[in-house]
Amino acid sequence: MKIKIFVFLLAILMCFAFGCQKKAEKAEAQQAPAVNLEAEKAAIKTVIDQWMQGMKTKDMELYSRIIAHDSDMVNFGTDTAEKWVGWESLKESIESQFKSIDVDNISIKDQFIRVHKSGEVAWFSEVVDWTGKAQGQPFSMEGFRLTGVLEKQAGNWAFVQFHASIPVSGQAVKY
């Protein structure tokens, strides 16, 4: 009799265990489908390329589509005065830049793009060589560093932060 009760309890325990496993597998299957990180990376590269194209062609409409209009985003340029908080501040500066800068060439190298597994946020870094004229005078920035963060907003990738810098030779502080 004890053996029958033991077998019966073991059978119930196994049914419970397998039932819980099936329930967990079903719940996992109902979660959002896996993100295609390579496809997202390609989409982000396109947005970064559009950012550069917008500078070259002075296309404010394009900029407006690919940069978030968040009031709390913060972006940095290469000059100490170039800190923009919010879309309106950045937009004003970009419009001013478009009036005085003509870009001849932008060359990107060492680009790195990383997409979070959620598929909702990404970050990048790249080194850029940039030539043109500013207020009619030729300029060349070699090794210009650009980093940024993009976020998927309403199904589209948008810049929510970027930081540009121009490297100096030697260390600013020796270590």
Q: Quick one: which of 132, 169, 162, 161 has its CA closest to 145?
A: 162
pLDDT digits (tens, 9 = 90+) for 101-159: 999 999 999 999 999 999 999 999 999 999 999 999 999 999 999 999 999 999 999 99
What single DSSP character describes residue 136? T
Task: Write the burial class of residue 3 (CB in 10 Å: 0-12 exposed, 13-18 middle, 19+ buried).
Answer: exposed
Q: Is the pTM of this model over 0.75?
A: yes
Q: What does residue 48 show for φ and ψ, rounded to 5 degrees?
A: -65, -45
Q: Are 87 and 67 in contact (CB under 8 A)?
A: yes
pLDDT digits (tens, 9 = 90+) for 85-98: 999 999 999 999 99
